[in-house]
A and B are shown apart, each in its own frame.
Chain A
Amino acid sequence: MKLADRHRVAFGALARAPLRTAMLLLATAIGVAAVLVLTALGEAARVYIADEFQSLGTDLLVVMPGRTETSGAGAGMMSGATPRDITLDDARALLRSSAIATIAPLVVGESSVSVGSLERDVTIMGTTASYATIRHWTMASGEFLPDVDMDRESPVCVVGSTIGSELFRGEPPVGRWLRVGDRRCRVAGVLARQGISVMVDVDTVVMIPVAMAQSLFNSAGLFRVLIQARSRDVMPAAKRFVLATFRQRHHGEEDVTVITQDAVLQTFDGILGALTLALAGIAAISLLVAGVLIMNVMLVAVSQRTQEIGLLKALGARRSQVLALFLTEALYLALLGALAGVLAGFAGIWLLGNLYPAFTFRPPVWAVLGAVLLSMGCGMLFGILPARRAARLDPVAALARR
């Protein structure tokens, strides 16, 4: 029997049972589509996080108080001991290294801000002019914080775009006064709209000089120090310098943690990669279910077509030919179901992309290929039992339909 004939007969058998065929195709298609959509979701999360960190720059180091190497969850957090504060002098000392291009100390807190009778609670970020450079932020209007000594409490501030539009009722905020807690500052600029970045809604923050923030929150310590190395190559040297500087300034104690973008990115990448794999695995179970369904329906088909199988044998069909015929049918079901699933999956992904444009939904190539190959594998695997049953039918009993 020629290959083309085998395909023609198998296709004819499927076409003559459209409802049964449609149900099986649907089962396989759902499995494949589930793999595509779920892996696209996992991948979207991974890419989103990666992009977020990439936007910070790959030459960035972040210094935080406490030593995670020894406590595992931030020094002092579990023991009750408080790590030594990172002060502005500590931060300034870091600028002595030739490997470090610039630094931005950061103090973060919550406070109420008001303009006239309008008031709201916002995230206050106290920093210096270099913060905008490090974060690659752009301005919608005006300028960022002035490039002055970091100890100086200049009464200026920069507002997020939402704060700018809501508190100032559509009036241009630049040059106007804003009350932050018990202080007043003049708005120097409005940040360009950029949404949530590194888990902070930039559009609703108010940026003030770091010294003002320290006095506002009555804290000498910094929340973070962001350090931009001169290049990616000098990152290790910069990190060594930072640790050495803090050891020296903190009486020989290395009580800070320095993290690099790469390390954070790798951690997130690993976690989200595993999440994507787990989602693919969960979805793949539905492919197995589809395979079992194919097996059951094929077994029913074999029993319905017993006489036909007996006839084929009476006409001289070998066992291997009958086996191949039924396996081809199973393969067709799996292949067509997989194709339908790929189409449905991409349609679902397109829909998700339209609903959540901030995310990039794209299933990994391995997931698309894997889902198609797995569905075909399941189809073949679960098609073997019915096909073998058909091939082994006794022709006399089959013709008599016993």
Chain B
Amino acid sequence: MIVKVWPTVSPQSRSSPTPDAVAILRLEQLTRIFAVGDQFVRALDGVDLSIGTGEYISLMGPSGSGKSTLLNILGLLDRPTSGEYWLAGERTSTMNDDRLADTRQREIGFVFQFFHLIHRMTAVENVELPLMLAGVPMAERRARAHEVLRRMGLEARVDHRSNQLSGGERQRVAIARAVVMQPKILLADEPTGNLDSVSGGEVVKIVEALHDEGLTLVVVTHDQAIGSRAHRRLLMRDGKVVQDVSG
């Protein structure tokens, strides 16, 4: 086991190629400062990080350590206050809002703790949403959504609305929605945080299976057992990556 402590970067993954050689995500001296009243909170404090294509990374740390802020920036939902972020070799700071949205749609899938399904829509309609936003024709997106839901074991639940699904099923629909555009990166924020252990275990298996198919996986979790399954484990504290462990 290789243990690297901040500010070391360039971690190694057992199952991935050398990330520096094919880094899909690269952060340089990234900071994110929030104004709270008349105070300024430094949520990220000079983060340097490189994530290789196909890596499986867990991001852990106490509440307020900056995990979610980092995940939001990685997912292009938020912009850093300073520093640089390259995604698939492209500098994100030069992208306008539309470009960020397009890149997010194409490259990144999100899985949230609270699923964020649209209640008035059925499972298949929820999964179709990103395809619809991308302008994929109805017949094609319906076929693709059905296929992904089938892989999630939800072929019998496609026409159910979210309030007719169990927690585990909802999260599987959310995962299907996250991967239906075939993104390169899957960002999961506490994906099992709102599930019982059985459903949580199923969800972990599904995301790991997706990783095995080549998806770069970043999971934010408080759960040590889930975090330890990642090939590379980052520990955050006070807006810094203080530990970067591979193996």
Residues of A within 8 A of B (CB): 1-2, 4-5, 9, 12-13, 16, 307-308, 310-321, 394-396, 399
Provide a sorted-by-A list of 11 A–B residue pairs whose CB atoms are within 8 angstroms: A2-B132, A5-B132, A5-B138, A308-B118, A311-B129, A313-B77, A314-B77, A315-B105, A315-B133, A317-B101, A394-B78
Contact A1 B135 (CB under 8 A): yes
Q: How many residues of B contact A (CB 8 A)?
A: 27
Given contacts A1-B132, A319-B97, contact A314 B120 (CB under 8 A): no
Within 8 Å CB of A312, what residues of B? 129, 133
Which chain A residue lies CB-closest to B109?
Answer: A315
Whether A16 lies near B129 (C-beta < 8 A) is no
Output the residue of A310, A318, A319, A394 with the most chain B CB within 10 A. Answer: A318
Cβ-closest chain A residue relative to B136: A2
Q: Which residues of B contact A16 (CB under 8 A)?
A: 120
Task: Specify the chain B residue showing the minimal Cβ separation from A9.
Answer: B132
A334 to B77: give the CA distance in the assembly, Å. Answer: 33
B106 with A316: CB separation less than 8 A: yes
Binary CB contact string for chain B from 105 to 116 against chain A (1 if under 8 A, 0 otherwise): 110001010001
Q: Which residue of chain B has the shortest Cβ distance to A320 in the bound complex?
A: B98
In the complex, A77→B161 CA distance in Å?
82
CA distance A316 to B177 in the complex (A): 12
Q: How far is the CA of A317 from the CA of B129 in the complex (A)?
A: 10
The interface residues of chain A lying within 8 Å CB-to-CB of B223 are: none
Complex: chain B residue closest to A395, CB-CB: B77
A12: nearest chain-B partner, CB-CB = B120
Are A315 and B130 interface neighbours, CB within 8 A? Answer: yes
Cβ–Cβ contact B129 & A315, under 8 A: yes
**A316, B135: Cβ atoms under 8 Å?**
no
Q: Is the CB of A321 within 8 A of B104?
A: no
Residues of B contacting A307 in the complex (Cβ-Cβ under 8 angstroms) = 116
Apart from A12-B120, A308-B118, A315-B130, what are 20 other A-B pairs with CB-CB below 8 Å? A1-B133, A2-B135, A5-B132, A5-B138, A16-B120, A311-B129, A312-B129, A313-B77, A314-B104, A315-B104, A315-B105, A315-B110, A315-B129, A315-B133, A317-B133, A318-B102, A394-B78, A395-B78, A396-B77, A399-B116
Residue numbers in A under 8 Å from B112 (CB-CB): 399
In the complex the two chains form, what is the Cα distance from A399 to B78 in whole Å?
Answer: 12
Tell whether B134 is near chain A: CB-to-CB under 8 Å.
Answer: yes
Query: Known: A315-B105, A319-B97, A396-B78. Is A13-B133 also a contact (CB below 8 A)?
Result: no
CA distance A2 to B129 in the complex (A): 12
Residues of B within 8 A of A (CB): 72, 75, 77-78, 97-98, 101-102, 104-106, 110, 112, 116, 118, 120-121, 129-130, 132-135, 137-138, 177, 181
Instruction: Tell whether, in the assembled complex, residue A316 and residue B120 are in contact, meaning their CB atoms are under 8 Å apart.
Output: no
**Distance between Cα atoms of A1 and B75 in the complex (Å):** 21
Least Cβ–Cβ distance between A1 and chain B, in angstroms: 5
Among the listed B98, B133, B138, which residue makes an inter-chain contact with A319, where contact means beta carbons less than 8 Å apart? B98
In the bound complex, residues from chain A placing their C-beta under 8 Å from that of B129 are 311-312, 315
Inter-chain CA distance A395–B79, complex, in Å, is 11
Q: Which residues of chain B have C-beta atoms less than 8 A from A315's C-beta? A: 104-105, 110, 129-130, 133, 177
**Minimal beta-carbon separation of B68 from chain A (angstroms):** 8
Chain B residue numbers with a CB within 8 Å of A12 are 120-121
Give CA–CA (A394, B120) in the complex, Å: 23
The one of B72, B116, B120 that contacts A311, using a Cβ cutoff of 8 Å: B116
Min CB gap A63→B, angstroms: 76
Name the B residues within 8 Å of A5 (CB-CB): 132, 138
- Hey, which chain A residues are within 8 Å of B75, CB to CB? 314
Q: How far is the CB of B135 from chain A (nearest CB, A)?
A: 6
Q: Please, which residues of chain B bring their CB within 8 A of the CB of A4? A: 138
CB distance from A19 to the nearest CB of B (A): 14
The reply to whether B132 and A316 contact each other, CB–CB distance below 8 Å, is no
Between A1, A12, A315, the greatest number of chain B beta carbons within 10 A of the residue's beta carbon is seen for: A315
Contact of B105 among A308, A316, A394, A399 (CB under 8 A): A316
Give the distance in Å from the alpha carbon of A153 to the alpha carbon of B77 in the complex: 102
Given A16-B120, A313-B77, A399-B112, does the pair A318, B132 have CB atoms closer than 8 Å?
Answer: no
**In-complex Cβ contact of A396 among B72, B101, B130, B137 (8 A):** B72
Q: A314-B75, A316-B101, A317-B101 are in contact. Are A13 and B120 (CB under 8 A)?
A: yes
Cα-based distance from A316 to B132 in the complex (angstroms): 10
Q: Determine how close the nearest CB of chain B comes to the CB of A332; give it in whole angstroms.
A: 15
Give A51 Cβ to nearest chain B Cβ, in Å.
Answer: 55
Q: Residue on B with the closest CB to A311?
A: B116
List A contacts of B120 (CB < 8 A).
Answer: 12-13, 16
Question: In the complex, how many angstroms separate the beta carbon of A17 from the nearest chain B beta carbon?
Answer: 9
Contact assessment for A316 and B104 in the assembled complex, using a CB-CB cutoff below 8 Å? yes
The CA of A16 and the CA of B134, in the complex, are separated in Å by 24
Tell me, in angstroms, the Cα distance from A307 to B162 when the chains sit together: 15
Q: For the complex, what is the distance from the CA of A338 to the CA of B106, rounded to whole Å?
A: 40
Per CB-CB distance, the 6 closest pairs between chain A and chain B, nearest first, are A316-B105, A16-B120, A315-B130, A318-B101, A311-B116, A395-B77
